[in-house]
Structure 1
């Protein structure tokens, strides 16, 4: 799960495993495998970094 900030400045959490694609429009538009879409303030690079960080924690067994 990764924390993101929507355009309404509210933080929410997304399951990184169901992200299908991320587009810059100029905000980042995240499309999930179930078809839901979210506009967020983070850049595409920030989202990728957060997903990589999350995956590393999972593979290392570090859930802190």
Structure 2
């Protein structure tokens, strides 16, 4: 889960596993695989950093094949 701030200043948590895309129009817009969209105050770079940190915390990026490594040690 990542913490996000709505345009009105309230914060909420979002399950990063359901994020399909993150865009900037110039407000950051997060689209989920369900089709739901959230426009947030957080800059796109910060949202992407939080997503990567979340993936690492649940070891989603621990598989060497996902990371692009050829040989598994």
Aligned to 2:52: 52
Higher RCO, 1 or 2 (CA under 8 Å, sep at least 6)? 1
Distance 2:55 2:34 in 1: 21
More strand by share: 1
Q: Which runs of 4+ in 1 moved over 2 A?
A: none
**Long gaps (5+) in structure 2:** 60-73
Does residue 32 of the first structure (1) align with residue 35 of the second (2)?
Answer: no
Aligned alpha-carbon RMSD (Å): 1.3
TM-score, normalization: structure 2? 0.78
Structure 1 regions of 5+ residues with no counterpart?
Answer: 60-64
Q: Find the aligned partners of 1:52 and 1:23 in 2 and give their Cα distance.
A: 16
Equivalents in 2 of 1:55, 1:31: separation in Å?
Answer: 17
Secondary structure at the aligned position of 2:52 is classed as helix
Q: How many pairs were matched up?
A: 60
Bigger radius of gyration: 2
